[in-house]
Chain A
Amino acid sequence: MDNEQKTNVSSQSKNTALDLLGTFGRNLGLTLYALFALFPLVWMIICSLKLDSEMYNTVFVFSPTLDNYKAVLLGTDYFKAFFQNLIVAGGAVILTIVAGVPAAYALARYDFKKKEDLAFQILSFKFAPEILVILPIFTIFQRIGLYDTYFGLIWVYQLITMPLVIWVVRGYFEEISVEIEQAAQLDGYRWFDIFFDILVPLIKPGLVASALLAFIFAWNSFTFPLVLSGFKIQTMTITSLRYIASDTVHYGQVAVASLVAVSPEIIACLFIQKHLVRGLSFGAVKG
Chain B
Amino acid sequence: MAQLKLERVYKRYVNSDKSFFKKAKQNDYAVENLSFTCYDGEFVGILGPSGCGKTTTLRMIAGLEEITGGDIYIGETRINNLLPKDRNIGLAFEDYALYPPLTVYENLAFNMRAKNRSDSEIKRAIDYVAPLLKVEELLRMKPPALSGGQKQRVNIARAIVRRPGLLLLDEPLSHLDGKMRQQLRHEIKRMHHEIKCTTIIVTHDQMEAMSLSDRIVIMKDGNLQQMGEPIEVYDNPANEFVAGFIGEPPMNLLSSVISRADGAFLFTFPESELRVEVPKRYYDALSDGQRVTLGVRPVDVVVAKTPTKGSSVPIAIYENLGDERRVSVRVGDSLLNMTTSEDVWYERGEMVQLEFKAEKTHLFDPETGNRIVSRKEGS
A positions within 8 Å CB-CB of B: 111, 113, 177, 179-180, 182-189, 193, 197-198, 201-202
Contacts and interface: CB of A to CB of B under 8 A. Distances in A.
Contacts of B162: 187
B306 interface: no
Given A183-B93, A186-B63, A193-B114, 11 more contacts: A111-B17, A179-B97, A182-B64, A182-B97, A186-B62, A186-B85, A187-B110, A189-B85, A189-B110, A198-B99, A198-B100
Nearest to B89: A186
Contacts of A193: 114
Contacts of B18: 113
B101 interface: yes
A202 B95 contact: no
B100 A179 contact: no
A188 B99 contact: no
Interface string B265-304: 0000000000000000000000000000000000000000
B91 interface: yes
A188 B93 contact: no
A15 to B, nearest CB: 35
Interface in B74-116: 84-85, 89-91, 93-102, 110-111, 114-115
Given A113-B20, A201-B101, A202-B100, A185 B85 contact: yes
Nearest to B100: A202
Nearest to A179: B97
B314 to A, nearest CB: 54
Contact of A187 (B96, B100, B101, B114): B114
A189 B97 contact: no
A188 B114 contact: yes
A283 to B, nearest CB: 15
B118 interface: no
Contact of A188 (B85, B90, B91, B158): B85
B16 interface: yes
Interface residues of B, number: 28
Q: Which of B16, B90, B97, B110 has the most CB of A within 10 A?
A: B97
7 contacts: A179-B95, A180-B98, A182-B84, A185-B84, A187-B110, A187-B114, A188-B111
B101 A183 contact: no
Contact of A111 (B16, B90, B93): B16
Contacts of A187: 85, 110-111, 114, 162
Nearest to B97: A179
A179 B99 CA distance: 10
Contact of A184 (B17, B62, B99): B99
A275 B93 CA distance: 31
A111 B62 CA distance: 22
Interface string B215-237: 00000000000000000000000
A184 B110 contact: yes
A4 to B, nearest CB: 39
A186 B164 CA distance: 11
B97 A180 contact: yes
Nearest to A114: B20
B62 to A, nearest CB: 7
Contacts of B63: 186
A186 B84 contact: yes
Given A177-B95, A177-B97, A182-B97, A188 B62 contact: no
A111 B100 CA distance: 25
Interface string B1-31: 0000000000000001110100000000000
Contacts of A179: 93-97
Contacts of B158: 183
Contact of A186 (B16, B17, B91, B100): B91
A155 to B, nearest CB: 31
Contacts of B114: 187-189, 193
B92 to A, nearest CB: 9
A255 B359 CA distance: 98
A202 to B, nearest CB: 6
Nearest to B162: A187
Q: Give 4 closest A-B pairs by Cβ, nearest first.
A: A179-B97, A188-B85, A188-B114, A201-B101
Contacts of B110: 184, 187, 189
A180 B99 contact: yes
Interface string B52-79: 0000000000111000000000000000
